């Protein structure tokens, strides 16, 4: 069992390859999470516009990218765009796919957070001389983010885990590098090592999320 799934000699030999994949996973996460949050914030702010010519296309956009599988979207960008004369690297395709897909989820979470803040607070801010945008920025958004922080953290965890989809388009992230190492060693150890690294990377965030959820439940009692 140890030779097959956790061979120390293989770990020592493949560690540089797996470490390079880990660094790319971290880099990819640092790119796609802020992009998704930015897209989500834009969508959430547009959702506050009470005009049907804004709300209906916005609802269609959000529903489409929430329903569209991220893997299919990624493959479509990577393999389909060249037929339109536009060739993007795997890294760029992952960033764009996550910008579109996760932005829709972040947008719905932030919209719910904005809706949870009483509308009178915007009017109170306007009465002090703030513009609507300033009231939204300084009064509503901080409260909205606090109200949905556990949901934002949970979605961020899913985004980091979904970076493993980059292996499908040959982005040298952790899973791709582990599979490359497995093809060289004919052993399951690289995949097991990648799974352990994912766990160690995300477990602290999982515990933090649990504490935030418990604190939110305690605050409602």
In whole angstroms, give the CA distance from residue 130 to residue 133.
8
Look at the domain 2-220 and name its fold.
Answer: MetI-like fold (1.10.3720)
Assign 118 a pLDDT band (cuts: 50, 70, 90): confident
Read off the pLDDT of residues 121-146 as tens digits, 9 standing for 90 and up: 878 887 888 887 788 888 888 888 88
Residue 72 pLDDT greater than 80, yes or no: yes
Residue 90: the pLDDT is: 86
Quick one: average pLDDT of 10-39?
90
Q: Are 13 and 180 in contact (CB under 8 A)?
A: no
| pLDDT-above-70 percentage for the chain | 97
How far apart (Å, rounded) are the C-alpha atoms in residues 155 and 64?
18
Question: Coil, strand or helix: which one is 189?
Answer: helix
> Predicted confidence band at 187 (pLDDT cuts at 50, 70, 90)?
confident
Mean residue pLDDT of the chain comes to 86
Q: Is the torsion defined by CA of 11, 17, 23, 27 positive or negative?
A: negative
* Distance from C-alpha of 86 to C-alpha of 78, rounded to nearest angstrom: 10
The pLDDT score that the predictor gives to residue 86 is 86
> Helix 90-115 vs helix 149-162: angle between axes, to the nearest 10 degrees?
170
- Measured CA to CA, the distance from residue 101 to residue 65 in angstroms comes to 5
- Nearest-Å Rg of the Cα atoms of the chain is 21
Mean local confidence (pLDDT), 13-39: 90
**Tokens representing residue 81 in the block:** 């765009």
Question: Which sequence spans correspond to the domains of the chain?
Answer: 2-220
pTM of this structure: 0.85
pLDDT at 37: 92
Structure tokens at 65: 């990218």
């Amino acid at each position: 069992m140890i030779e097959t799934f956790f061979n120390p000699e293989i770990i020592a030999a493949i560690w540089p390859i797996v470490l390079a994949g880990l660094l790319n996973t971290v880099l990819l996460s640092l790119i796609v999470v802020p992009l998704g949050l930015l897209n989500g914030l834009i969508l959430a702010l547009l959702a506050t516009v009470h005009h049907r010519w804004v709300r209906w296309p916005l609802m269609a956009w959000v529903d489409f990218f929430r329903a569209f599988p991220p893997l299919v979207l990624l493959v479509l960008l990577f393999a389909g765009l060249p037929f339109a004369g536009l060739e993007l690297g795997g890294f760029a395709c992952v960033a764009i796919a996550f910008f579109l897909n996760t932005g829709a989820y972040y947008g719905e979470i932030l919209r719910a957070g904005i809706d949870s803040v009483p509308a009178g607070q915007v009017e109170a801010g306007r009465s002090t001389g703030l513009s609507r945008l300033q009231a939204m920025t300084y009064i509503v958004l901080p409260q909205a983010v606090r109200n949905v922080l556990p949901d934002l953290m949970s979605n961020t965890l899913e985004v980091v885990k979904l970076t493993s989809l980059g292996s499908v388009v040959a982005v040298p992230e952790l899973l791709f590098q582990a599979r490359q190492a497995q093809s060289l060693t004919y052993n399951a150890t690289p995949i097991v090592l990648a799974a352990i690294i994912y766990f160690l990377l995300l477990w602290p965030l999982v515990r933090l999320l649990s504490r935030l959820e418990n604190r939110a439940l305690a605050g409602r009692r």
